[in-house]
Amino acid sequence: MKKMLAGYDAVAEAVKACDPDVIPAYPITPQTDIVERISEMIADGELTSEYVRVDSEFNAASTAIGASAAGARIFTATCSQGLKLMSEPIFSASGMRLPLVLGIANRSLSAPLSIWGDHTDTFAERDGGMIQFYAEDVQEAMDNIALAYRVAEDKDILLPALSCLDGFILTHVQEKVDTFTQREMKEFLPERDPVHTLDPSNPTTMGAYARPEHWTETRYEVQRAVKRSKDKIGEAVEEFADVFGREYGLEHNGLLETYRTEDADVIIVALGSVCGTIRYVIDEYREKGEKVGLVKPRVYRPFPAEELNKVLGDAEAIAVMEKDVSLGYQGGLAIDLKSALYSNGSRIPVLNYIVGLAGRDVTKDVIKKVVEETKEMRGKDPSDIGLEEEERWEPLREELLPGDKDD
């Protein structure tokens, strides 16, 4: 059924179809509308779930852990500082191998305070053993919820999954989407069948103290599970296409999508909603006969290193446009991409552009400037970029930057 839905409504509809047992909820802008809409569904009898109003995001994550450990299917949602408050228990959920699914309405981190969207909140969680999906539009944000459950609850994975959509740009925009019902979802998403649960009749311990000689082994198993999830994502995306008719990068194991990259000599790599604007700019360049393309990773963890090497191998220059920065160095996506390419023997120059922080507009002119500067790097060596220019903050307002004047 086609509906015109805001992003938060679409996520709530997806959660309803996946039929979770327990939903711990705490508000934070711009995520609040997701859990608010779910509460209305429960009150109206559309969804039978235990809705738990907690007093902080920390307790939302802790409640999710307790319920998941008891065998329940879980959903909660947050963003920004709320995700930071959840970070400690979610790291524990990863080590305890609990398949929590979180909807994240990406938002910048303080200070200064901002309610607008970028990816700094979820990129800060990349080392926690969590699967991370990123959506370009409302339909993808909706579908990623189902895919997150399918992969996270797989008995070979059992890890938390973050389903990310850009705050306001996607959460509060209305788009036409294809919805799915609980009956349709049962064909795609198996019933929750936990491997280990807390049961008074069969006592067990989860997340116990580990001595140094044992701790590394637990993290190694999480590492193996995150890597295994690459194939599980591919399988889930393929079956999702069979059931619902929507494909997400099947030729790349469901981990990334490409746009006009077959013969491109300049390729932009980007996550999330900005990819829509980038596609328009690429079309304009193509009309002029210039070979520009886009690679959109749908998943940041597990990192699709092999797939990126495959689609980027023939490029002459690459620009990474990302809404995050690892302060003191560069953007996280660019760091990982260069590691993947250069460890494979590539010498393609990669320019890193920090854009869209705190919801700052990424206009067509900004993207064109990125393309023009990247075109100048064709045929050059990565060492020609220079360490001082490896990350470029676009656009910066010069009147707000410290100058060289004596005063």
The 3-state secondary structure of 319-385 reads EEEECCCCCCCCCHHHHHHHHHHHCCCCCCCEEEEECCHHHCCCCHHHHHHHHHHHHCCCCCCHHHC
Phi, psi of 371 (to 5 degrees): -60, -45
Same topology for domains 2-244 and 256-398, yes or no? Answer: yes
Amino acid letter for position 70: A
Cα dihedral 147, 152, 157, 158, rounded to 10, equals -170
Domain ranges of the chain: 2-244, 256-398
pLDDT score of 391: 78
Q: In the predicted model, is pLDDT for residue 11 greater than 90?
A: yes
| Average pLDDT across the chain, whole number | 95
pTM for this one?
0.96
Is residue 267 helix, strand or coil?
strand
Residue whose tokens read 């045929």: 379
Q: 17: exposed, middle or buried (C-beta count within 10 Å: 0-12, 13-18, 19+)?
A: buried
CB 150, CB 142: distance < 8 Å: no
Please state the rounded mean pLDDT for residues 116-135: 97
Q: Which CATH number fits domain 256-398: 3.30.200.20, 2.30.30.100, 3.40.50.920, 3.50.50.60?
A: 3.40.50.920
CA distance 386 to 21: 53
Considering the domain delimited by 2-244, tell me its CATH architecture: 3-Layer(aba) Sandwich (3.40)
pLDDT score of 386: 75
